[in-house]
Chains A and B, each alone.
Chain A
């Protein structure tokens, strides 16, 4: 038995880049994720929050070992005390480590839903478990005999979460599980993940919806242009002064109850990444030093990638 004091998943200095051909045969390496750090403990729900195009989905694909062939990944992943190698993830994915996908396109259009959740197995145990899950999600049993195109958006979402529940996961990675759901359904979906965490699994939810993440997650990792810029406890978001990074504070202020303010500028594209701090061009506090190396350092029980902590 591995020690249960070690985190479920620890990611250190993860970077993912793509090889791309540009004009003829010149190969360019596009760094999509650079220096990503996060830790998920048992029973903990961590939300990775970032706007679209920040490379969040690749994080999930990187952990699951399903990056496309022209992508390369560096850094360290440690699952329950031991390195998560390619071989190890191939053994663990689909039972101990599960992913909840982003959209209906991840379901086979020609396979009945029930069969699909059970991966085509006719095992009676599995079927029983499936019935229980359907009951819990208030899905009718006849839905098992339907095809993905016959489902509503909310049903599809529940079916995709069911693919995780049918296993006995210790680590759940949910990639944008809520878009397209109205608030009530989205909240309920997040609660399902919360339940999984309460049952002892480590849950990583990748989302662009900070407000929703704050309601259920324990910890929030803020992602900006491929960098983790802050790791904060969900409770830190109660008070803007508890937050560490200017971008996180900007996100906080963008929430309707907190002023609904937006900051000018856009997230830089990978090819036009500024030197040093990726947020510097939009930051009010930038100085010449911001173009240098910015360490990811511990501040008040969290982490921040900024030279000036408030």
Chain B
């Protein structure tokens, strides 16, 4: 058992390293192919016109214009793998510090959305699957299909208009109130600012989880063992408690951890709409501003999160399902 455990860990570490290398190469390639001129984007056309040749050369060196890409990549990679993520060109701070702050903001939002969409999605999916074809199922499915075909940023704007502009009950953006000193910001302020973005992320997250849970639940309800349970006089509630929940929780957990990637991706758009200073927004500004070290770091950290989510999903599945836990061949 322990040797196979070691093997699994080793395999996953190798996989992770390969993933980081592949992702970094892809991100770097895209970045060098980007048509954005870093000087024009960050300094501005007018300012550039009034600068001397030496000043422009200095700036070009700062933004890395004209350097051979391979050399640039290797220099970055050498630093990165020795633990130095470099200095953000936009924020003029260590990338690690920038990310720590942004990730902190985003985490708050993403964890809220992840937990909320996971629990609600599971409940809705289970209810719909148990009552296939009836009113509850139709309503839940209708909601999920509508939401999953609606872009997240559009929902974000809709919520913003309703709650931020018309009802004025929630702030329209940012993560803290405007014009308040950092020391004066309360935890409640932060929560209030995170509500709309988190709800937006949840709304879109729910539909995916609910639809998948529903599918799985329908399979279970059509299984022979549920038929037999019915023949043994088990009520709908007993069937759910004894068989439905037990069989659906494994796949639902897997899905939930795999859904981390969607929450991550969704947060980029949603943070943009709400001007929420999180990782997603930082990624957008790093991309548009040619901030290579920051963008690379964010990309890799996101990849690691998604990888970690999937890894946990796999491990959990083995823990939950006795057929895998007790070492049967894959079913």
A interface residues with partner B (beta carbon < 8 Å): 61, 64-66, 90-95, 98-99, 101, 103, 105-111, 115-116, 119-120, 147, 149-150, 163
Contact = CB atoms under 8 A, between A and B. Distances in A.
A105 B220 CA distance: 11
Interface string B202-245: 00000000000000000000011101111111100010011100
A93 B232 contact: yes
B322 A110 contact: yes
Contacts of B323: 109-110, 147, 149
B58 interface: no
A71 to B, nearest CB: 13
B178 to A, nearest CB: 53
Contacts of A90: 233
B321 interface: yes
Interface residues of B, number: 24
B246 interface: yes
A94 B247 CA distance: 22
B282 to A, nearest CB: 43
B54 interface: no
Contact of B233 (A95, A103, A110): A95
Contact of A94 (B227, B232, B326, B331): B232
Contacts of A101: 224, 228, 231
Contacts of B243: 108, 111
Contacts of A64: 231
A120 B238 contact: yes
B328 interface: yes
Contacts of B229: 108, 119
Interface of B: 223-225, 227-234, 238, 241-243, 246-247, 250, 321-323, 326, 328, 331
A150 B326 CA distance: 9
A109 B225 contact: yes
A105 B231 CA distance: 14
A129 to B, nearest CB: 15
A269 B226 CA distance: 29
A106 B238 contact: no
B322 A119 contact: no
Given A105-B224, A105-B225, A110-B321, A119 B242 contact: yes
Nearest to B243: A108
A94 B228 contact: no
A163 B229 CA distance: 10
A111 to B, nearest CB: 6
A94 B241 contact: no
A166 B266 CA distance: 53
Given A92-B233, A108-B229, A108-B247, 10 more contacts: A94-B232, A94-B233, A99-B232, A109-B225, A109-B323, A110-B321, A111-B246, A116-B242, A120-B241, A149-B331
B234 A119 contact: yes
A116 B225 CA distance: 10
Contacts of A98: 231-232
Nearest to B246: A110
Name the 7 nearest CB pairs between A and B, nearest first.
Answer: A94-B233, A94-B232, A106-B228, A105-B224, A64-B231, A108-B225, A120-B242
B231 A66 contact: yes
Contacts of A92: 233
20 contacts: A66-B230, A66-B231, A94-B233, A95-B233, A98-B231, A98-B232, A99-B228, A105-B225, A107-B225, A108-B247, A110-B246, A110-B321, A110-B322, A110-B323, A111-B243, A111-B246, A119-B234, A149-B323, A149-B328, A150-B326
Contacts of B231: 61, 64-66, 93-94, 98-99, 101
Contact of B242 (A65, A66, A105, A111): A111
B210 to A, nearest CB: 22
Nearest to A102: B224
A169 to B, nearest CB: 11
Contacts of A106: 224-225, 227-228
Contacts of B247: 108-110
A163 B232 contact: yes
B231 to A, nearest CB: 4
Given A95-B233, A110-B322, A119 B227 contact: no
Contacts of B223: 105
Nearest to B320: A110
Contacts of B238: 119-120
A92 B331 CA distance: 36
A108 B232 contact: no
A144 B224 CA distance: 21
A66 B227 contact: yes
Contacts of A105: 223-225
A59 to B, nearest CB: 13
